[in-house]
């Protein structure tokens, strides 16, 4: 599987730490010193996830030089769909990609990496030749904007990567690992509310609805700085790749301290750690492809370079992969 195109989309509205401090008891210094975040993009009331995901998908198609009809598969990694029955088919329809099967994959902040690995398996079997893998989330709709522990962290965005079949010797997915630990699920949740509705005398049913995002930040931080370097180390060892041969660390953009801790573990200079947290915050499944697209467009990531990547978050779930960027094949 070769990575041959990318694209992204972000809402126009940007809310700075200073603006947020007018609503909740916080400050720019407090947020930056603990997270590295300076602002976040927030979707307007008239900007659904489908629109963001479709814009990112079109940009990736254009970058790869593909027509919508070239697609065989669309995977949408999201935890905040416009429709719980699935938003990927709506993206497929918006693109006019009528030859592609489309479905959602939910794994929170690990979602994009899990979806990319899933697409690779379809390609490896020969069932799929070309796929779009989209990471998109609009968690602003599920935040308690009066809770300074969570509302300062998250933003909205979407990004996509175009992948296609290639000879094994040219693959862009050199190795990967995935993990889940449901015993720690309560550390980060967007849980169903315990609503009840009387259906008949003596018979009640659950009433649909979700509580705002809850996060035990301290536990999630400890989980990430412990588990992510270990899993990345396993991938590098399995592929026989010394850390000094990795061109870039492309990690889930959750917290700058986590990014720096992983870099220190592998003695990777901080200037080789890709980060756009300051401008976007944590966009969940969108963070990795959003950062990838930014670094490809500005020339930092060049064809043939190696990217050590990891996604981690709710579930708890985490994954790691060693990627090689190819770029458009003309």
Write the CB contacts of 54 (distance below 8 Å, at least 6 apart in sequence): 91, 94, 95
Orientation of helix 49-64 relative to helix 287-297, angle to 10°: 40
Contact 285, 75 (CB under 8 A): no
Whether 276 is a known active-site residue: answer no
Given the residues 17, 63, 252, 255, the one annotated as active site: 252
What single-letter DSSP state applies at residue 203?
E
Cα dihedral sign, 111-112-117-122 = positive
**CA 180, CA 110: separation in Å to the nearest integer?**
10
Q: State both tokens at 6.
A: 């990318």
Contact 316, 238 (CB under 8 A): no
Contact 135, 112 (CB under 8 A): yes
Given the residues 109, 151, 187, 255, the one annotated as active site: 109
Contact 199, 205 (CB under 8 A): yes
Conformation bin of residue 74: beta by default, left when phi > 0, alpha when psi is -120 to 50: beta
Please report the beta strands in the chain, taking only residues with DSSP state E, as ranges in sequence order.
2-9, 14-16, 39-41, 73-77, 101-105, 130-138, 156-164, 173-180, 188-189, 195-200, 203-207, 214-215, 248-251, 306-313, 317-324
Whether 252 is a known active-site residue: answer yes
Whether 279 is a known active-site residue: answer no
Residues with catalytic roles: 109, 252, 282
């Amino acid at each position: 599987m070769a990575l041959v195109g990318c694209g992204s989309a972000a809402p126009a509205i940007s809310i700075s730490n200073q603006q947020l401090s007018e609503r909740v008891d916080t400050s720019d210094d407090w947020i930056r010193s603990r997270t590295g975040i300076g602002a976040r993009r927030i979707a307007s009331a008239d900007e659904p996830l489908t629109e963001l995901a479709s814009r990112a998908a079109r940009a990736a198609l254009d970058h790869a030089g593909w027509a919508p009809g070239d697609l065989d598969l669309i995977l949408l990694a999201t935890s905040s769909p416009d429709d719980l029955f699935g938003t990927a088919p709506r993206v497929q329809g918006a693109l006019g990609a009528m030859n592609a099967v489309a479905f959602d994959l939910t794994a929170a902040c690990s979602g994009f990496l899990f979806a990319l690995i899933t697409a690779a398996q379809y390609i490896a079997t020969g069932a799929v030749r070309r796929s779009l893998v989209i990471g998109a989330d609009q968690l602003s709709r599920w935040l308690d904007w009066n809770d300074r522990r969570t509302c300062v962290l998250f933003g909205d965005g979407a990004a996509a990567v175009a992948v296609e079949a290639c000879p094994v010797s040219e693959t862009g997915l050199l190795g990967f690992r995935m993990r889940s630990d449901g015993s720690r699920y309560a550390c980060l949740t967007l849980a169903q509310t315990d609503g009840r509705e009387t259906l008949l005398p003596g018979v009640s049913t659950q009433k649909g609805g979700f509580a705002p995002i809850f996060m035990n930040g301290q536990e999630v931080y400890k989980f990430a700085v412990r588990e992510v370097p270990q899993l990345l180390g396993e991938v590098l060892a399995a592929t026989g790749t010394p850390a000094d041969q990795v061109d870039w660390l492309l990690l889930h953009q959750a917290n700058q301290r986590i990014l720096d801790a992983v870099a220190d573990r592998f003695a990777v200079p901080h200037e080789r750690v890709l980060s756009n947290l300051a401008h976007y915050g944590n966009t969940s499944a969108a963070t990795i492809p959003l950062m990838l697209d930014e670094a490809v467009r500005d020339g930092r990531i060049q064809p043939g370079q190696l990217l050590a990547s990891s996604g981690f978050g709710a579930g708890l779930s985490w994954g790691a992969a060693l990627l090689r960027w190819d770029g458009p094949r003309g």
